[in-house]
Amino acid sequence: MSDTSTHDDRRAQRLLMVALAWLAAGLLAHLVAPAAAQGIMLAGLLLCSVPMLVVAVRSLAKGNVNVDLIASLAIITAIATNSPLPGLIIVIMQNGGEMLEQAARGRATDTVRALEQDVPRTAHRLSADGLSAEELDVAAIQPGDLLLLRPGELVPCDALVIEGRSHVNTARITGESTPKRVTTGAQLWSGMLNVEGALTLRATATAGESQYAQLVELVRFGQASKAPLQRLADRAAGWFTPLTLAACAVTWFVTRDMSRVLAVLVVATPCPLLLATPIAIMGGVDRAAGRRIVFRTGGALERLSSASAAVFDKTGTITIGEPRVDAVTSFGPFAGNDLLSMAAALEAQSSHALARSVVQHAKDLGLGIAKVTEVREHAGEGVEGTVGTHHISIGSMAFSGARATLAARPAMDHSELRAEIVVDGIHAGEIRFADQLRPEIPEVLGSLTALGLHRTLLLSGDAKDHTARIATLAGIADAHGELLPGQKVEWIETLQAEGERVLMVGDGVNDAPALVAASVGIAIAPRQGGLAANSADIVLLRDDLRSIPEAIRISRHTMRVARQCIGIGLGLSMGAMVFAAFGMLPALEGAILQEFIDVAVILNALRSRGAGGLSPRRAATSNAGGMPQPVLSH
């Protein structure tokens, strides 16, 4: 199949028009001057064939033996045997199919369009004295600007609440319409809707670098990457093309009848039919997007459909996003609040699920957050840095153990989620968190088993005892704790070596290497922004793991439709080839029959969109955070 630059798009359109015009001219001539009709159509075919053959030769030169080859041979044979009418029909079929695909592609970007329509456009900037506000384009916002946000307006860029209290919701992004209360100090993300009171904000990022812009990019990337979509079709073409050539050769040697060879080639031309695969896959991607599941590539959809094992990260994945701080304990010499203030200073620089909870807790207690320098984050282990004259670190047991060199660590119970604080080599304290299982976990694990994923693992960087406790609560037998990010990757590779197709669910920040290593990586875009999901193949915008079985069902349904399209299309073509070889299906009738097959198959492909596909309305009224909707099965 041709690549899909706009240049090619226009070429297909032009060729279709020209071929139709010559066909009409030929048929008209047939009525008034039958002798000239054949010549007119042949001239038209010659004209149209040149650009198509050029493309085919170029792609052949690159070593692509694809189905375009069959179409080109059919056209050449039509010219050689002076049968311009079936030749022209092939030109129409090829280019019409490409245009059909373009149309489908246009519709697949509904999701992007719906998101773009909702993008915040204007904001109100407050003057330095806070007394007057001017309207400005969001693009003009600079970090640090003071903004006024009225009720009913969208948060224009990522920002902190400086003054006021209100409720906001994230319905546009996550479909979650339950409002969240915000007051001074709360972090807001662009795209959130302010439902009530007026707020004064301080911009923390430009609009372009804010969450909403990143989200649109994320979705757009998925829609634009098209190459892997065609793998399935190309695999089929791999054997279908030689088969066709062999059928032609046999027909020629047995019958010495070029018109039969032409008929075989005409009914074998399956290009528009194979377009059904990308159409089906794009339909599935778009349908998932309507459910706030972002497939970033078509290939991800194909891989997800065959996943056989699921690996879960713990903190923020199996457990709720941001565990509340339960207790801060000091082992001396610092007072608890001083310790917390220092820890919060470090955590303010970290993107870990626990970090925001610590910062929030310090703020809730009204503590000032100290200044920190030389901050270093060790993904999946902890953070360290310098506060005043002290070197301080906060992180896992192993991480802190390696830094607490001066005193023996107190004996502790490790069955709770905790982060340990070390100051200047002394084990100075710990923060305990209320780590809770997500309520939907049992249902999700049940669905995965029902879908045939026969292994489920919990891999965590957290202490072994606590990991085991959460695993028991979740009902996962195979759990491993105290793993560094690299060791999670090793586990995944081991599973893959055993022949599993591994689905990894984690957070996009800490688990990036594991998400990349897995056959398919799923990241949850956390409730409060932090869309660092570039390493994931699939991003869940809803903070609800029931999206995972739902995504699998959509992917399987889509792949079933795609395979069915190829099977039916190629099957019918092969049947027709037999009739053509035996002289029972002339080229012209064959061309018309083939056209019908293609249209039928492409209509079938559109089924992958399911009932309705995405519309912003549907997304808005979908039961946010509620029960997953049933997926059509066929």
Catalytic residues: 313
| Closer CB to Mg ion, 297 or 510, in the complex | 510
Shortest distance, CB of residue 491 to ligand ADP, whole angstroms?
11
How far CA 56 is from CA of 51, 64, 236, 623, in Å, comes to: 9, 9, 18, 49
Q: Does residue 530 touch ligand ADP according to CB under 6 A? A: no
DSSP one-letter code for 154: B
User: Is residue 526 at the binding interface for ligand ADP, with CB under 6 A as the rule?
Assistant: no
Among the residue ranges 93-101, 142-150, 192-200, 456-464, the one whose residues contact ligand ADP (CB under 6 A): 456-464
Distance, in Å, from the CA atom of 377 to the CA atom of 395, rounded to the nearest integer, reads 10
C-alpha 16 chain-centroid distance: 34
From 190-198, 283-291, 311-319, 404-412, span contacting ligand ADP (CB under 6 A): 311-319
| Nearest CB to Mg ion, comparing residues 359 and 515 | 515
* Residue 510 sits in the site that holds Mg ion (CB under 5 A): yes
Do 469 and 415 touch, CB atoms closer than 8 A?
A: yes
Which residues are CB-neighbours of 421 under 8 A, at least 6 positions away? 339, 342, 343, 392, 393, 394, 400, 427, 428, 429, 430, 431
Q: Could you say whether residue 510 binds ligand ADP (CB under 6 A)?
A: yes
> Which DSSP string do the residues of 434-469 spell out, in sequence order?
E--B-TTHHHHHHHHHHTT--EEEEE-SS-HHHHHH
* Amino acid at the residue 14: R
Q: Work out whether 109 is an interface residue with Mg ion (CB under 5 A).
A: no
Binding mask 392-431 for ligand ADP (x = CB under 6 A): --xxx----------------------x------------
Interaction between residue 313 and Mg ion (CB under 5 A): yes
Q: Does the footprint of ligand ADP cover residue 382 (CB under 6 A)?
A: yes
What are the two backbone dihedrals, phi and then psi, of residue 486, each rounded to the nearest 5 degrees? -65, -30
In the block, tokens 């690549």 appear at 3
Using CB under 6 A, which of 125, 291, 292, 314 touches ligand ADP? 314
Q: How far is the CB of 534 from Mg ion (least distance, A)?
A: 16
Tell me the C-alpha distance between 532 and 512, whole Å: 9
350 part of the interface to ligand ADP, by CB under 6 A: yes
Q: Is 467 in the site for Mg ion (CB under 5 A)?
A: no
CA distance 208 to 213: 6
Which of 85, 355 has the CB closer to ligand ADP? 355
Min separation Cβ 470 and Mg ion, Å: 12
Q: Between 193 and 354, whose beta carbon lies closer to ligand ADP? A: 354
Using alpha carbons, select from 176, 175, 177, 136 the residue that is nearest to residue 157. 136
Q: Is 396 in the site for Mg ion (CB under 5 A)?
A: no
Q: Which of 292, 352, 546, 609 binds ligand ADP (CB under 6 A)?
A: 352
**Dist. CA 550–CA 622, nearest whole Å:** 14
- In angstroms, the CA 609 to CA 606 distance is 6
Footprint on this chain of ligand ADP (rule: CB under 6 A): 313-316, 347, 350, 352, 354-355, 380-383, 394-396, 419, 460-462, 510
Footprint on this chain of Mg ion (rule: CB under 5 A): 313, 315-316, 507, 510
